[in-house]
Amino acid sequence: MTSIGVIGTGDMGHALAVRLTGLGRLVHVANSRGPDTLESLARSVGPLALAGTAADVAAGDGTPGRIVFLAIPFGRYDTLESAPFEGALVVDAGNYDIGRDGHHPRLDSGAMTTGQVLAAQLPGATVVKAFNTIWYRRILEESRPDAAHEDRLAVPVASDDPAARRRISALVHEMGFAPVDGGTLAQSARQEYGSLVFNQPVGPARAEELLATDRGAASRDRKEE
Ligand SMILES: NC(=O)c1ccc[n+]([C@@H]2O[C@H](COP(=O)([O-])OP(=O)(O)OC[C@H]3O[C@@H](n4cnc5c(N)ncnc54)[C@H](OP(=O)(O)O)[C@@H]3O)[C@@H](O)[C@H]2O)c1
């Protein structure tokens, strides 16, 4: 079994670490300030959460296809060093929020998606966009591992690599949510912050409808906030 890591230990990273350790997986976690600041987080998640540096968590066990969740603000993506992520499958749960992250012209114009920006920042990694649409409280409280697919909350999953998309979809399923095919990273504009499916507690059939009718970031009005 390949290693699994979570970078970012705020509301979102914490919720993901809870779900992943709930699967019996050892999960390495990191923030920007270092492992010494993560004692209480590790205690609250449990013994399967181990604190490290962001570079160590990105490097994991070094195996190609190891999984690294990224739960940090989009405005911090350019602080990530690419070398430790080489060969990793990076699950991008982040969002672009102009009020928090500042303007990024290529996102504002719809020329790129957040996942594409991350893929350019981490050229040796395979990026999968997932979990960015769902509020952390729902990850903590509304996981339904035993429910039928259609009775679970939807989590759109997008990647340019179909095998990676399938692999993360299987993990989403294990974590108690309904994976929905979000297409490529370009198509993940339909699941970005402000999209129709964003922060909607809907099942997979409704999520598919919302994805199908969303024309993406280029059609949205990104007024200065
Ligand atoms: N909150 C939600 O419900 C939710 C839902 C879906 C998606 N998201 C997205 O998930 C991301 C995180 O959201 P959040 O609410 O968890 O934010 P948050 O509570 O502010 O936490 C951000 C975390 O990112 C860490 N971080 C920042 N830069 C880093 C770096 N270069 N290396 C390692 N760690 C770094 C911070 O570490 P330090 O504290 O040490 O700086 C902190 O642990 C955002 O993009 C957000 O839009 C959030």
Reported as a single tens digit per residue, the pLDDT across 65-98 is 999 999 999 999 999 999 999 999 999 999 999 9
**CB of 13 sitting under 6 A from ligand 1:** yes
- In order of their start, the domains of the chain are 4-219 (3.40.50.720)
Token duo for residue 117: 């920006």
DSSP 176-196: TSEEEE--STTGGGGGSTTST
Give the position of tokens 């598919």: 208
**CB of 12 sitting under 6 A from ligand 1:** yes
**CB of 7 sitting under 6 A from ligand 1:** yes
Distance separating alpha carbons of residues 215 and 81, to the nearest angstrom: 33
**CB of 8 sitting under 6 A from ligand 1:** yes
**CB of 138 sitting under 6 A from ligand 1:** no
Q: How high is the pLDDT of residue 173?
A: 98
Summarised one tens digit per residue, pLDDT across range 25-66 is: 999 999 999 999 999 998 899 999 999 999 999 999 999 999
Summarised one tens digit per residue, pLDDT across range 168-211 is: 999 999 999 999 999 999 999 999 999 999 999 999 999 999 99
**CB of 43 sitting under 6 A from ligand 1:** no
Q: Are 186 and 116 in contact (CB under 8 A)?
A: yes
Beta bridge partners of 155: 179
Distance separating alpha carbons of residues 75 and 98, to the nearest angstrom: 9
Distance separating alpha carbons of residues 213 and 210, to the nearest angstrom: 5
Average pLDDT of the chain is 95
3-state secondary structure of 130: strand
How sure is the predictor about 2, in pLDDT bands with cuts at 50, 70 and 90?
A: confident
Beta bridge partners of 5: 28, 68
**CB of 143 sitting under 6 A from ligand 1:** no
The 8-class DSSP code of residue 25 comes to -
* Mutation choice for ligand 1 from 6, 7, 9, 12, CB with most ligand atoms inside 8 A: 12
CA atoms within 13 A on the CB side of 174: 14
Residue 77 burial (C-beta neighbours within 10 Å; 0-12, 13-18, 19+)? buried
Residues near 182 by beta carbon (within 8 Å), at least 6 away in sequence? 129, 130, 156, 157, 158, 165, 188, 190, 191, 211
Summarised one tens digit per residue, pLDDT across range 100-130 is: 999 999 999 999 999 999 999 999 999 999 9
Ligand 1 atom closest to the Cα of residue 33 is 40
* Mutation choice for ligand 1 from 18, 19, 29, 32, CB with most ligand atoms inside 8 A: 32
**CB of 74 sitting under 6 A from ligand 1:** yes
**CB of 79 sitting under 6 A from ligand 1:** yes
Q: Are 66 and 60 in contact (CB under 8 A)?
A: yes
Distance separating alpha carbons of residues 204 and 108, to the nearest angstrom: 28
Cα 13 to middle of ligand 1, angstroms: 7
Percentage of residues in the chain having pLDDT higher than 70 = 96
Distance separating alpha carbons of residues 50 and 66, to the nearest angstrom: 16
Q: How high is the pLDDT of residue 224?
A: 41
Cα 27 to middle of ligand 1, angstroms: 17
Distance separating alpha carbons of residues 103 and 175, to the nearest angstrom: 33
